[in-house]
Chain A
Amino acid sequence: MGSLKIENVKKAFGPVEVLKGIDLEVTDGEFVVFVGPSGCGKSTLLRVIAGLEDSTSGRVLIDGEDVSVTPPAKRGIAMVFQTYALYPHLTVRNNMGLGLKQANTPATEIDRRIGVASSMLSLEPYLERRPAELSGGQRQRVAIGRAVVREPKLFLFDEPLSNLDAALRVNTRLEIAQLHRRLKATMIYVTHDQVEAMTLADKIVVLNAGKIEQIGGPMELYNAPANEFVAGFIGSPKMNFVDGARLGETAKTIGVRPEHLTVDPKSGAWKGTVVHAEHLGADTNLYLDCEKAGLITVRIFGVYDAEPGTTLYATPEPGKTYRFGADGKVLK
């Protein structure tokens, strides 16, 4: 239990079409991440699934049941919000228990579930505190706990890590991954951060301008992007795109990932000058201004000393370039 099917869902706010026909199937126990730039409709899609927003047309099915007109509380979902959205006047315990209380769950059952969830998220010491007395990371754990106690068919996460600082984000990401492994529940996760998408997802749905660009596993999207948008969105630093005509190629655009370029001070395919070097320790990002290819990024594993102004030759690894047609689609 916990499958989701979305059939041709469209959503318009007045004349503005935010979702332009989304079809998606999520099987039980999957961790699906919606990723895309801001304004691509990923949060709206999540809200449609939650029932917080009505779709203009199309159907949403949870466990094969059409829930298009079911109120959010009756859909068997739980949601974690970016801003935590904890009830400020309730203690952690009551924050977690409120939904169950509304559904007339017996008190002993509520206590049991709160016990399980709070030990899972190490929230026991804070059960009697109010949200104002907690740190950001603790608040987000409470919000996750509030979702866990409901034992929903579907977990919905709306950019849950965006309000946390970088170190906490990594920890909480790990916790969410472990939670998924332990609960084996279906989770849908919205983010604009492709790193979160790559690290958490079983299946990534890349959205752009209200349409699905590609659906697939993290490695599938990385190794075989369907189009220029997905190729540019997945991977960090971003893939280099070079005008095909400048390289004498038939394809409109040639793409090569920064990590698939090698540099050599003496010879290579593209001659260029170092504009800037970022030393990250584990790897080095070089920005090269190439005569043929324009400004490109090269990622070198380990330390590489290169002063700005130095001349270097960059060479794409054979078989690791992508060719895109005029419509942005990948050419076979």
Chain B
Amino acid sequence: MSIATRSLPRAIGAHAILLTYTAIALFPVILVIMNSFKSRAGIFGAPLTPPAPKTFDLIGYTTVIGQGDFIHYFQNSLVVTVGSLFFVLLFGAMAAFALSEYRFRGNTLMGLYLALGIMIPIRLATVAILQLMVASGLVNTLTALILVYTAQGLPLAVFILSEFMKQVSDDLKNAGRIDGLSEYTIFFRLVVPLVRPSMATVAVFTMIPIWNDLWFPLILAPSEETKTVTLGAQLFLGQFVTNWNAILAALSLAILPVLVLYVIFSRQLIRGITSGAVK
């Protein structure tokens, strides 16, 4: 930014707005993490204060880890999230490539059909999905969750990626064809690396709802073997007694893996979000 376009009041105003928003967005997260390190009395006595020596307590974490299976729940969540993400990106990118690259009858119609899923929540079809999973014997398997989340993530992935794939130079793809590359090689070696930022964007938007989802794990895979973290945390949520220490600790822990994935994608993400606006 040049000096000519910078003015102090405007800078202060912009920062004030952004800082306020950051505070609002981070407040619940910080509250959860803060209270997860406190004793039960500490949580209820002064929920808004950070852990003091008097209230500091790791009981929540010891409960969660002592419960034994929580490591397993994490594993399940990770398998489901990474698995679905992989399929969403793979199939989404391939469908987007076909829609943007090849002229065929019904191309536009097919694109609209695939994008329709953005507007229709997949949860509407829960009963049908459950029947389908029962019939195919997939209830209480992680496969069921991966299939459902792949279906859930695909529409947005196809929609976003096909826009970006249209921007990839035709000449480059044609040069590949003249050099004898197969359509698959052109896709994986030439096109995918060029749309990587947008794929990271799609990855983040797809990943977070999957990781946080409670609905489908509860309905399709509630067994001890296949519980995900969000479902596992419900263990501490009783009808009469709720173990807040354990819940807050479980939730704090659940933030970590998604944070790691986010950091991996975020470098690409920033480029993806701004790539349309700034040349």
Chain A residues at the B interface, C-beta cutoff of 8 Å: 47, 50, 52, 71-74, 77-79, 81-89, 98-99, 102-103, 146, 158
Contacts and interface: CB of A to CB of B under 8 A. Distances in A.
Given A88-B193, A88-B194, A89-B193, A72 B178 contact: yes
Nearest to B173: A85
A73 B180 contact: yes
A99 B189 contact: no
8 contacts: A81-B171, A81-B174, A83-B169, A85-B172, A87-B189, A88-B193, A98-B181, A102-B180
A89 B189 contact: yes
B71 interface: no
B179 A73 contact: yes
B179 to A, nearest CB: 4
B175 A85 contact: yes
B178 A78 contact: yes
B190 interface: yes
B178 A87 contact: no
Nearest to A73: B180
B96 to A, nearest CB: 20
Contacts, number: 57
Interface residues of B, number: 15
Given A82-B171, A83-B171, A87-B172, A102 B178 contact: no
Contacts of A102: 179-181
Most buried by A among B172, B174, B175: B175
Contacts of A86: 172, 175
B182 to A, nearest CB: 9
A99 B179 contact: yes
A320 B193 CA distance: 59
Contact of B178 (A73, A82, A84): A73
A82 B171 CA distance: 8
A89 B188 CA distance: 12
Interface in B181-210: 181, 189-190, 193-194
B267 interface: no
B177 interface: yes
